[in-house]
Amino acid sequence: MRTTSQLLLVVLGVTLVAQIIYGTVAYWMISGSERQNLFTQVANDAYRIAAEIDGVSIDQLANEEIAFPLLRNLGLTGSVSLFDAGDNSDVVRFGSRFVDVESQLLNTDQIRTPYQQGEVCTDRCYAWATVPAVDKQHTLLLITPEKDNVVSLGETLSMRLVSSGVIVLWIAVWAALVLSSTITKKLNAKNKALVYQALHDELTGLPNRNYLFDKMEEALSEAEEASESFSILLMDLDRFKEVNDTLGHHFGDHLLVEVANRLHHKMKKPVTVARLGGDEFAVLVPGANHKKAIEVAKTITLSMLEPVPVDGIELEISMSIGIATYPADGNEAEELLQHADVAMYRAKRSMAKYMVYESNEDGNSIRRLRIMGELRNVIENDELDVHYQPKVCLKTDRVIGMEALVRWHHPELGFVPPDEFIPLAEQTGLIHPLTDWVMQQAMKFCAQLRAEGYELTVAVNLSTFALQDAGFADELALRIVQSDLPANRLELEITESAMMTDLPTASKVLDRIVNQDVQLAIDDFGTGFSSLAYLKKLPVSQLKIDKSFVLDMVSDTNDRAIVKSIIDLAHHMDKVVVAEGVENQECLDFLRSQHCDIAQGYFISRPLPGDGLRQWLRDSPWGKAARTRDVNVIDFISGRKLHSS
C-alpha cells in the first residue's frame, strides 16, 4: 500500500511538472508565433488600406466625409494615420482610439518611414506597421491592439491544456496504479521469499533457530498472560557424525530430512518443530507441563523406531531429548534452551531417550542416575517383586481378579516407587525386559492360585512403548504357551495415550492381543483425551476409571458426576467398568448404586505380596466367597455381559 501511494504521488508530481513545463513552453511558443502573425497581419492590412486609397488624392483623404466611409468599409479595428514623407507632417488621421499610443509612436522617427513594424505597450500592447501610400509621397501607419487576440489565444490554449492535462493525468494515475500493483506483487513475493529464507532451514524446510526464538518469545508472553506453562524439547541424533564420516554427507542429509519429516508429521499445530543446525532439532509445545512434555518425548521416540533406508542400507535413528519447561526451568527463551541442552546431554550420558531438566545436580538426580544404572541388573537377577491388588465384583461381592504391581526394595535406597523407576525404565528401553518379567511372574502366580482353587484373572500394566513394538504380540504368545494359565485369565492395562499415540500401529498390536483371547483394559480412563469415536473401535473390554476421580467422589460432586457418566458410557459401549482407588465404604456403596461392575482399592485391600494375597483370600469376605469352585467366573472375567446379567 505504501509503495502504491508513493508511486502514485511520484507519477502525479512528475506529470504535473511536465504539464506545467509543457504548457508554459507551448504558451510561449504559440504566443510568440501568434505575435509574429499579428505583425504580418497588421502589415498586410496596412498594404490593403494603401491599395484601397491608391488613386484617392491626399486632399480627398483629408476630407473626412470621403475618407471615413472608405476606411470603415475595410472593417478595421485599428487606427490609421497618414504622414507626408517630405515634411513629416501629419496629414490625415482616422480613428482616435489609440491616441496615447500614436503620440508615443510619433516621437520616434521610425514610424514616418515606410516598411517598419513593431509593438508598443502602454496599459495594453499594440502592433503597428508602416507602408508607403498615396504615390509613395506619404507613409501610412496602422495601429492594432494585440491584447484581444492574445487573450483569446491564451484561453483556448489553457482550455486545451486543462482538458489534455486531465486526460494525461488520468492515464498517468491509471498507469501508476497498474505499475504499482505489479511492482507491489513482485516485491511482496520477493519479500516473502526472503523472509521465508531467513526463517527456515534450507535442507529440511523446517523453521530455523531464529523462527524458533520468535515463537518462544510469543509462547512466553502468552504463557505469562494465561499463567500457563510450555515446554521446549531439544534433541540431537546419536552418532550422527559417524554416519557422515563413514557413509558420506549424502547419507547424513537423507537421515536429517527423514527425521525432519517424521517430526513434522507427528507434531500437530500449535507445536513448532525447528532444526537448529547440524543434527540438532527442537520442538516447542505450547501449554505443555512436564508430564505432557514427557508424553511428547515418548511420541517422538516412538516415531523414530523405524529405520531409515538409504541406498539399500537401513540406518537406525537414535536420539536423546532434553526437556525444559516454563516457568519451572526458566523464564527466558535463551535460558530454557540452555537448560533443555543440559538435560539433553544428561540423557545422552546416561543413555536415556529423554530427560527433564533439573535445576540442581542434587541428590535427586544422582538417585535417578543410580536407579537407571542399577535397574538392568535388578531385573536380570530377579531382585524385583510383584504385589497383587484384588479386584472385587460388585454384583456378587466376590474377588474376581487382581492387578500385578511391580515393587523394588533397594538395599540402600529403600522402597523405590514404580512411579519413579517405570518412567526411567521407559527412557532407557529397560521397560521391555521389565514388562516381560512382571508378566511371567504374574501368570505363574495366577496359575498357582488357580491350582489352589481360585479362578481369578491377573492384570499386567503395559507401558506406552509396548504397543509400538511389533514383536510384543509374538512375545506375549510365547509367554502364554509357556505358562499354565489360560489366555483369557490374563488382562493387560494400557493407558489411553498409549493407544492413541500411533493408532494404526497400536490397533494392529491390540488386535493381535485380543485374537489370543487376552483381555484389554483402558487404564486411568478420563485423564487422556481419547476420542470417543476411536474408543468405540478399540478392541478393549474394560474401562478403568482413574483413581483421581474415585478418591474424592464422596465429597466432590463433580467427580461423582464424572464417575457416573463414565459408568454409563462404558455400559452403552458394552464394556465392563472398573473403579480403582476405592478407599471407604461410602465410595463402594455409591459405585454399587451406580451399577459399577468392579471395584479395586485400599478399602478392599492394598497391593499384597503373593503370600499376603493368599492370606487375604482366606480371611476376607470377598476372598472366601470366591473359593467355591462352582462359581462360574468366566462371564465376569471376559466381562462383556457382566453388567446386563
Is the CB of 144 or the CB of 464 nearer to ligand C2E?
464
Q: Measured from the CB atom, is 406 or 642 closer to ligand C2E?
A: 406
d(CA 607, CA 390): 7
Q: Cα–Cα distance between 558 and 561 in angstroms, integer?
A: 5
**Stretch of 50-58, 202-210, 217-225, 418-426 contacting ligand C2E, by CB under 6 A:** 418-426
Judging by DSSP bridges, how do beta strands 519-525 and 490-495 pair with one another?
Answer: parallel
Tell me if 491 contacts Ca ion by CB under 5 A.
no
Phi first, then psi, for residue 507 (nearest 5°) are: -60, -40
Residues 6+ apart with CB under 8 A from 328: 229, 290
- The three cell numbers of residue 471 are 514383536
- Which residue number, 604 or 626, has a Cβ lying nearer to ligand C2E? 604
Least distance (Å) between residue 519 CB and ligand C2E: 15
| Binding partner at 504 among ligand C2E, Ca ion, none, C-beta below 5 to 8 Å by kind | none
Per CB under 6 A, 580 contacts ligand C2E: yes
Residue 633 Cβ vs ligand C2E, minimum distance, rounded to whole Å: 22
Q: Is 496 in the site for Ca ion (CB under 5 A)?
A: no
Separation CA 488–CA 400 (nearest Å): 13
- Is 524 an interacting residue with respect to Ca ion (CB under 5 A)? yes
> Which of 350, 583, 609, 627 contacts ligand C2E by CB under 6 A?
583
Looking at 142, 259, 274, 422, which residue binds ligand C2E (CB under 6 A)? 422
Residue 486 binds ligand C2E, judged by CB under 6 A: no
As a whole number of angstroms, the distance between CA 444 and CA 482 comes to 10
| 405: contact with ligand C2E by CB under 6 A | yes
By the rule CB under 5 A, 493 interacts with Ca ion: yes
CB of residue 605 vs ligand C2E: minimum separation in angstroms? 9
**CB atoms inside a 10 Å sphere around CB 618:** 10
Nearest distance in Å: CB 360, ligand C2E: 26
> Among residues 523, 570, 579, 617, which is the contact residue for ligand C2E, using CB under 6 A?
523
Binder of Ca ion out of 79, 461, 464, 638 (CB under 5 A): 461
| Residue 522 sits in the site that holds ligand C2E (CB under 6 A) | no
Please report whether residue 114 would count as binding ligand C2E according to CB under 6 A.
no
Which of 391, 547, 571, 614 touches ligand C2E by CB under 6 A? 547
The torsion angles phi and psi of 448, rounded to 5 degrees, stand at -65, -45
Closest chain position to ligand C2E (CB): 601
Q: How far apart are CA 562 and CA 578, in angstroms?
A: 14
Instruction: Determine which residue in the list 140, 220, 406, 591 makes contact with ligand C2E, applying CB under 6 A.
Output: 406
Cα-based angle 217, 219, 221 (whole degrees, multiple of 5): 70
Using an 8 Å Cβ cutoff, are 597 and 643 in contact? yes
Cα separation, 307 vs 314, in Å, equals 6
- Contact residues for 591 (Cβ-Cβ < 8 A; gap 6+): 394, 550, 563, 579, 582, 599
Residue identified by cell 543413555 is: 351
Cβ(77)–Cβ(42) below 8 Å: no
Which helix (H) or strand (E) segment holds residue 595: the answer is none
Q: Which does 496 bind (CB under 5 to 8 A by kind): Ca ion, ligand C2E, none?
A: none
Please identify, using beta-carbon distances, which residue of 165 and 607 lies nearer to ligand C2E: 607
Residues that bind Ca ion (CB under 5 A): 461, 493, 523-524
